[in-house]
Structure 1
Amino acid sequence: MKHPLIHYTFILASLLVTWLSTPSVAQKKSNTVYVDEQGVMRWGDSKKEVHGFGVNYTAPFAHAYRAAKTLNVDLEKAIDADVYHFARLGFDAYRVHVWDTEISDSLGNLLEGNEHLRLFDYMLMKMKARGMKLLITPIAYWNNGYPEPDGNTPGFAAKYGKADCLTNEGAIRAQENYLYQFLNHVNPYTKVAYKDDEDLVAFEISNEPHHDGTPASVTTFINRMVKAMRKTGCKKPIFYNISHSIQLADAYFKSDIQGGTFQWYPTGLGSQHEIQGNFLPNVDHYVIPFANAPGFKKIAKVVYEFDAADVGRSYIYPAMARSFREAGIQWATHFAYDPTFMAYANTEYNTHYMNLVYAPQKALSLKIASEVFHTVPLYKSYGRYPANAAFDGFRVSYEQDLAEVITDKKFFHTNTTTSPVPHPETLEEIAGAGNSNLVRYEGLGAYFLDRLEKGVWRLEILPDAIWVSNVFGKNSLKKEVAVLNTRAWPMAVTLPDLGSDFSVTALNDNNTYTTKASNNTFTILPGTYLLKERNSTASRKGDEKWKNIVLKEFSAPAAVLDKTYVLHTPPSEVKEAKALNVEASVVSASEPEAVELIVFGVGRPQTYAMKRDKGYRYVATIPGDQLNVGFLRYYITVKEKDAVHTYPSGLTGLPLQWDFYDDNAYQVPVVSNTNDLYLFNAITDARDVMRQWSKTSGLMPNGKPGDGEFVVNVEHLLNSDPENKNGEKIYDYSFRYTFARKIAARKDELPLRKKLIVKGRALNDRPCTLQVALVMNDGTAYGATVTLDPNATEATLNLNQLHPVKLVTLPRPYPSFLPYYFESSKQSPLNLSAVEALQFSIGPSIPATELDRKHGVAIESVRLE
């Protein structure tokens, strides 16, 4: 397959390259960051609070570096492109744990002239030119393999490993030597040593050290590292990770550090698929157990890594930023931004996915989070969810998969929104995806509008991004999980100072597209454009600097879609005699000649035209008289260039032709109106259960052909947290399944049901008490307990007997000291129309004398009657 990701359209005139790549060498010595007595980082000259928001980005190192070589990518150009996108997203902070193993030898000597180090220096120079500030972690302790096998690297980390690096005298001396040389290293592009770079605000000694020694030995180790760094003359704040092994918190506070670092993965890591449900309860509050410790109050706080891993939606990051500020965090950097050249495959960290081109709505959410971080005062609280879903012009909505900010000057949104914009005449920046009251756009890329002066705006539009596979799964550079497409789409821009018939002029190099607005509407391709009110005499060539970009800048991989994708997931089941709306995304280089639905229902096969609704979405309705109890089978056909392909297989030809050999149609069970409504079936749904990993839990056969049960057998209910040995003792093991998608076609039946029936059995030859709860889309849970016997049985709960119960934050967050239960700002009444998940808990109502015993259940199904 010809891959489009090697060719970039990022082109600048040589003069502009010089401007963007040459930072000022003369630096203000008075601007060194310091930490005041209240534990707040401040700028040396202005005394103002330091606060930065941005990303981790690893292009010069490890897998990303090797992927660039495999794909024959020029890494300098790739870095240029991504740093430009950082500017568009409003990032002003960068952090990375440097792969010391690639740039040092076993004695800790820095390998000057090393290609990884040179690229790192080049990247820092480019970030500085865009106004970004830097926080560097010189020691990673990682080898460079992940997700591939480790390579042979010369560094001390490869020789000793993380555990020995914390205790072995030879390893400690190597680190002292390395830190001294690293801070003294002079960036050849800026001619300034790291220790003296005014844009490098602080250092974090090492990445996630995981100490397990005595408090005194830990303090001594940290002080040796600090001493080696201070010996260079460096006066910048030095941070240390204090969110691991928190029983050693006092040892951290007694050391010579000026700050502590944290991370936040509120939805766990490594699910291998997109997880479903409302995760705003998971990010409601960043609770630090030792927040009131006197030593903690004197040090600055930063978050070096965060992400809502395996969440593909766009609503969550601004809520995380709000919680960070409430906790006193001054710096937060997402982990990790995918280099664009390899984002089509998401191989670097498949549990994360962040890129402006390939994940535009998520990236826009991060842009809004940056606005939150720079707007919300330190330690400001807005209460608990759902009361804090709207605050100071910001709003997050799980139901709409939407984050937005509306102020007098800025309007950013991640998805289609109907929110009114009170003062469009004062706006200076717009960024979005989908539609709003001001911009309507059918494409699937992000767009940006920047007001240059009255009646003159800069428009930037990125290509359509479509996820065609599981982006969080087992990935490979040989596999596309996301594709780009360049299609001309209608756009309507309604801004008071532009009028309705404005001009549209291409700015970016090699863009020859011409168009003009009529009644606010025009057809547009990806690129950068100048929009001018028809009477404006303003002149722009495109070479002009605008804030930290150049007007004509544009960066995106060449979008060459070489096949058509039909993206459609049939409903799990539908009701008889009820018309079924079928929706599919038909992703093609140009609009197909025809899209049809061929249905094998009652009588002869029926063909229905699928009409384009908007963008790539096509819809058709199967009449109710075609839906009898049984299995409905159908195909989707796409006609392009006089050829017809039939999906899901994509074979050439039509299903009614004699030699069409694919029998793998879309298939949907059609059930009687009197059928029970199954919320969970182990054999089909076990993969999507959110739980703490345990080798004794998972899907198991139950002796019936084609059937199974979800087994959970817990040796110890007490949650023993190795990172928080002195934490609260909670006796509970909970797991949750979100069924909203499963029952979407039958959701209207929920309010009609009266009983919840659990089919399962207890393990260990004795009964087990199990709490079963229905969880609503606002995080409110209603449940009750049932007792399962060792023999398979059905336990029934009347829905009117359910009462409020605690919601467990699942998947379990990291760091693991974060709250086990979510406490809502209000207790919503049970609304069956809003329920979307089942929560199972072993622990509630079990007598204290039984808590230390082994407990287990095997769940076959849960249904409503």
Structure 2
Amino acid sequence: MKARVLLLIVTCIISATSWAQKGTDVYVDKDGIMRWGKTNEEVRAFGVNYTAPFAFAYRTAKQQGVDLKKAIDDDVYHFARLGFDLYRVHVWDCEISDSVGNLLNNVHLELFDYMLKKMKDRGMKFMITPIAYWQNGWPAPDEKTPGFSSKYGKGDCLTNEGAIRAQENYLYQFLNHVNPHTGLAYKNDPDIIAFEVSNEPHHGEPAAKVTAFIKRMVTAMKKTGSKKPVFYNISHSIHLADAYFNAGIQGGTFQWYPTGLGSNHELGGNLLPNVDNYVVPFAANPGFKKIAKLVYEFDAADVGRSYIYPAMARSFRTAGMQIATQFAYDPTYMADVNTEYGTHYMNLVYAPQKALSLKIAGEVFRTVPLYKSYGRYPANATFEDFSVSYEQDLAQMVTAQKFFYTNNTRTVPPAAEKLEEIAGWGNSPVVQYSGTGAYFIDRVTPGIWRLEVMPDAVWVDDPFSKASPSKKMAVVQSRARLINIQLPDLKDGYAVQGMNAGNAFSATADGTSFTVTPGTYLLTRKGATVGDLNVRLHNNIGLREFFAPGSSVTETYVLHKPLTAATEGDAYTVEANIITATVPDAVELYVYGKHWKPEVIQMDAGSGFTYRATISPSFLQSGTLRYYITVRAGGKATTYPGGIPSGANDWDFYGNPYTVPVLPAKSAVYLFAAADEAKLSRNWTPGTSLMPLAEPGRVELAVPVKKLFELDPENRQGKQVHDYSMRYFFGRQVAGRHGDIAKATRIVFHGRTKDGTPLPVQLALIMRDGSAYGGTVTVDVRTSDYSLALADVKPVSVVTLPRPYPSFLPYYFVPSAVSGFALDQVETLQISIGPGLTGAALDSAHELVIESVRLE
């Protein structure tokens, strides 16, 4: 009898479990894997955060008179174009709730509902975080908002009974809310696959209280009848991991900012070591193994290049992440000024190469096996169908059907006749295009392809520098350019027909080339029959769809930075981006040597907006090289620097030239000077000062370090590392000194220490492949030169700078192999306090004063 009862109970449990799996959209299995209820297949999804219905993005749209629903339509179309299949946001609860947690049916909620419907139409899924704990001001001052977060603040929301009750009320109402555009309550919408309770709670209470708080939040959500997995942030306060696992959650959320946040300038150098491995310290915890894992926010902040996102996606998959969303996609109507989150920059129109990199990262998430490891960089730069290259600033995916690339590539797809989808920037063996926007080519049926070309995009300022609504970071232009498409399925002389609204272009390709302007086109092979033009492509893309802002070039931009220095007798190439409303008639370089009259050199147009000219070695004599750039268009001349409205040779010209110091051969090459402190990657320390010296133009940087190791409140059990390191990318500033670098025999530190005893300081040179060589100099209280012979440098550890967040991620990068030291490959300086110290000195305060570091 007992056996029958036991069998009946077991059968009921199995049936109930089976029903739960089949009756819900997503479930978490016993191994902590999210699976689709209908197919039991692993969930793999990838996308972005996007904030148009809320906060600063919403206010900006209103100030500009933007139709927000139309703006959402346009950006969601670009999400489809980039292959995103998941959306996440921390909802600004302060804008859609009152102080006791009642949900407010206002314009923000209505726009959010509208946006979800538009994303559903594109096949996207959602992971929603109902509570942000954010106020709505950033980056501007906060507004007065009615919500409970406004009343209590984040800290009290985690501990105050009134605030906790308000959150319970709000979560219950939020999940029960019916989206008027879908007719579905959030709790019942099959495309909402999971909820995260709140955004980055940062608990500091005892474990029992934390568990009790989370349980109350989970209970409030489950009380709605929702069967969707509930996630909680477990990457903050990780000493509370067991408290999280004991609270009834089904998943944990993580974030990754591997290059820190808020550098206020574009970071240089190879940052693939920073994204080599995503290590979770409590990965062996039995509780962790039972829950699902996702990444609610990630970005390589302040990195403007396109090589890094697929490597991040690979590391996430190795760590067991099933979902990841970049933070944050800039609404197109404000992306030209990048005011929302200045340390991030993502938009298909204005940052096309980065957006294509994100598209490839999505493919990584959908194809790379969970938990599979590919070793360490640089060995893992090629994995499955993907590759990343810092040296070429290139990420690519190459299969028989798909060919995606972020920069010029020579890679030949394995079977061009089988290609179905191409997305790229620049030139490849299949497409040659001189524009600076992205393009997409999709096979519709045999012999018929859809081409989409985005406008040219140019960064006219550093997009990661201090932002303002009145400061343009990027512009776009719709310039006609030649495109050459070499697909076996098209052949010579294919027909070209404009498809998007207002695009009446019609032509026959000259061989495989034709002139194109931004828009969408149907390319038809001779003899092929055009069928239904209402057919939809992947992600529900229509043949006629297109969105891009119009040309925004209203002035001439001459983007040129002269080299910091050049060497006597070398040739000197001047390269500039010339962005004008119309194609210039001529661009001229006026070079002054020993004579008062300049030599005039025509600058040649290259790809995109690039112009180049080479100055002969005869002009590079010890002293100062001086030159101007004159742009001639429409019968007018404008000269730079300064945008002077005349030619450099005109009698009334009054401008100051570009200048380059020309140094005698074998002169020292300065890698870092204290005046460049603003671009030094390091953890800021109290008391840091930049002090002028008596000699004009000279300064020294004082860096006091109270402790080499300080306990991280977010990682209390972390390994103790007694080190303080600084990193400086000097690659651009020594571009004219390669000959002198090759002849260098020692690295010289000029400065002193304020320590009572001599201080060992490690100097290291990081090469393009991420490996580092260095050694230690002993610095005392005298301001002097302290040198290290380059013949004596050895492999040393590379510190991941800027320091990543979460802070539990590795402090040091360990490469798969160490290449031999090569001076022509060095581009970054690392200065470290810690190596060489022992005993009490490891726990003592230190102060290093730096004036410069040079090679000679």
TM-score (norm 2): 0.96
Aligned residue for 1:110?
A: 103
Q: CA deviation at 1:283?
A: 0.3
More displaced stretch, 758-767 vs 776-785: 758-767
Match for 2:505 among 484, 499, 513? 513
Tell me how far apart the structure 2 counterparts of residues 410 and 169 of structure 1 sit (CA, whole Å): 54
Deviation (angstroms), 1:711: 2.1
State the shift of 1:90 in Å.
0.6
Q: Of the candidates 620, 642, 646, which is equivalent to residue 627 of structure 1?
A: 620
Percent pairwise identity: 59
Residue in structure 1 matching 2:694, options 687, 703, 709: 703
Equivalent residue runs for 1:221-370 within 5 Å: 221-370=213-362
Kindly state the Cα deviation for residue 526 of structure 1 after the two structures are TM-superposed.
0.4
Listed one character per residue, the Cα deviations across residues 789-843 of structure 1 (whole Å, up to 9, x for unaligned) are 1120111111111111100000000000000000110111111111111101100
CA shift for structure 1 position 507: 0.4
The one-letter amino acid paired with 2:25 is T
2:128 alignment partner, SS class: strand
Partner Cα distance (1:612, 1:631) in 2: 27
Say which of 79, 90, 93 aligns to 1:86.
79
- Please say which of residues 212-221 and 691-700 is displaced more in the overlay: 691-700
Q: Is residue 636–residue 648 contact of structure 1 (8 Å, CA) maintained in 2?
A: yes
Per-residue deviation at 1:676? 1.2
Corresponding residue for 1:69?
A: 62
| Pairing partner for 2:554 from 545, 550, 562 | 562
Q: The residue matched to 1:614 in structure 2 has which SS?
A: coil
What amino acid does structure 1 have at the position aligned with 2:322? Q
Are the counterparts in 2 of residues 781 and 806 from structure 1 also a CA contact under 8 Å? Answer: yes
Higher mean C-alpha deviation, range 839-848 or range 512-521: 512-521
Structure 2 letter corresponding to 1:736? R
The amino acid across from 1:768 in the alignment is L
Structure 2 CA distance, aligned partners of 1:841 and 1:575?
30
Q: Secondary structure at the match of 1:531?
A: strand
Counterpart Cα distance in 1 of 2:545 and 2:635: 39
Amino acid at match of 1:384: R
Q: Would you say the 8 A contact 2:586–2:632 is kept in 1?
A: yes
Please, which of 769, 783, 786 is the counterpart of residue 760 of structure 2? Answer: 769
Q: Distance in 1 between matches of 2:606 and 2:314?
A: 36
Match of 2:722 among 722, 725, 731: 731
1:636 aligns with 2:626: no
SS in 1 for 2:212: helix
Q: What secondary structure sits across from 1:690 in the alignment? A: coil
1:541 Cα deviation after fit: 3.7
Q: What is the distance in 2 between the residues matched to 1:758 and 1:592? A: 47
Q: Determine which of 125, 131, 140 is the counterpart of 1:139.
A: 131
How many Å separate the matches in 1 of 2:739 and 2:254?
44
Q: How many angstroms apart in 2 are the aligned matches of 1:776 and 1:526?
A: 40
User: One-letter code of the match for 2:218?
Assistant: V
Shift of 1:627: 1.4
Could you say which residue in structure 2 is the equivalent of 1:121? 113
More moved, 319-328 vs 573-582: 573-582
Of residues 364, 368, 382, the one that matches 2:374 is 382
How many corresponding residue pairs? 835
Kindly state the Cα deviation for residue 438 of structure 1 after the two structures are TM-superposed. Answer: 0.3
Equivalence for 2:208: 216
For the residues of structure 1 that align with 2:568 and 2:582, how far apart are their CA atoms? 37
Does residue 1:589 correspond to 2:585, yes or no?
Answer: no
Deviation, 1:436, is 0.2
Cα displacement (A) at 1:848:
2.0
How many angstroms apart in 2 are the aligned matches of 1:491 and 1:725? 57
Alignment-derived partner of residue 456 in structure 1: 448
- Looking at structure 1, the residues matched to 494 and 115 of structure 2 have their Cα atoms a distance apart, in angstroms, of 39
**Pairwise CA distance, 1:701:** 2.0
* Structure 1 residues without counterparts, runs of 5 or longer: 1-27
Corresponding residue number in structure 2 for 1:35: 28
Displacement of 1:182 after TM fit? Answer: 0.4
Distance in 1 between the 2:742 and 2:615 partners?
25
Cα offset for 1:563? 1.2
CA distance in 2, matches of 1:719, 1:535: 72
Aligned equivalent of 2:610, options 613, 617, 630: 617
1: CA distance between counterparts of 2:103 and 2:633? 58
Shift of 1:350: 0.2
User: Structure 1 residue 488: deviation in Å?
Assistant: 0.3
Asked if 1:816 is matched to 2:807, the reply is yes
Tell me if the contact between 1:644 and 1:653 (Cα under 8 Å) persists in the aligned partners. Answer: yes
Aligned pairs for 1:372-451 within 5 A:
372-451=364-443
Q: Which moved more, 1:56-65 or 1:699-708?
A: 699-708
- Deviates further, 621-630 or 126-135: 621-630
Amino acid at match of 2:372: K
Aligned equivalents of 1:543, 1:849: Cα separation in 2: 73
Picking from 141, 154, 157, the partner of 1:149 is 141
Shift of 1:849: 1.7
| CA RMSD after TM alignment | 1.2
- Render the CA deviation track for 1:608-635: whole Å, top value 9, x for unaligned: 1111122211111111111111111111
Partner AA of 2:773 in structure 1: Y
**In the alignment, which residue of structure 1 is the partner of 2:489?**
497
Q: 2:772·2:798 contact (CA, 8 Å) conserved in 1? A: yes
The change in CA–CA distance for 1:546 and 1:765 in structure 2 (over 3 A counts) is closer
> Map of 1:502-541 to 2, 5 A cutoff?
502-539=494-531, 541=533
Residues 486 and 560 of structure 1 are in contact (CA less than 8 Å); yes or no, is this contact kept in structure 2? no
1:401-436 deviation digits (Å, cap 9, x = unpaired)? 000010010000000001121210001000000000
Separation in 2, partners of 1:257, 1:547: 32
Q: What is the Cα deviation at residue 544 of structure 1?
A: 5.2
| 2:836 maps to 1:842 | no
CA distance in 1, matches of 2:411, 2:77: 30
1:87 deviates by 0.4
CA distance in 2, matches of 1:679, 1:746: 11
- Aligned partners of 1:590, 1:362: CA distance in 2, in Å? 27
Alignment partner, residue 779 of structure 1: 770
Residue of structure 2 in register with 1:488 after alignment: 480
CA distance in 2, matches of 1:699, 1:460: 51
Aligned to 1:3: none
The TM-score with structure 1 as length reference comes to 0.95
* Higher deviation after alignment, 39-48 or 511-520: 511-520
Are the structure 2 counterparts of residues 412 and 708 from structure 1 closer, same or farther at C-alpha, using a change threshold of 3 Å?
same
- Deviation by residue 1:582-612 (Cα, 9 ceiling, x = unmatched): 1111111221111000112221211111111
The reply to whether residue 804 of structure 1 matches residue 798 of structure 2 is no
What is the CA deviation profile of residues 166-204 of structure 1, one whole-angstrom value per residue up to 9, with x for unaligned ones? Answer: 000110010001000000000000010000110000000
The offset of 1:516, in angstroms, is 2.5
Cα distance, 1:859 vs structure 2: 1.2
CA-CA distance at 1:461 after TM superposition = 0.2
Preserved contact between residue 24 and residue 228 of structure 2 (Cα < 8 Å) = no
Task: State the distance in 2 between where 1:71 and 1:174 align.
Answer: 35
| Partner AA of 1:814 in structure 2 | Y
Amino acid at match of 1:552: R
C-alpha distance in 2 between matches for 1:478 and 1:423: 48
Distance in structure 1 (CA, Å) of the matches to 2:613 and 2:128: 54
CA-to-aligned-CA distance 1:714-740 (integer Å, 9 cap, x gap): 001004211001111111000011111
For residues 470 and 679 of structure 2, the distance between their equivalents in structure 1, rounded to whole angstroms, comes to: 26
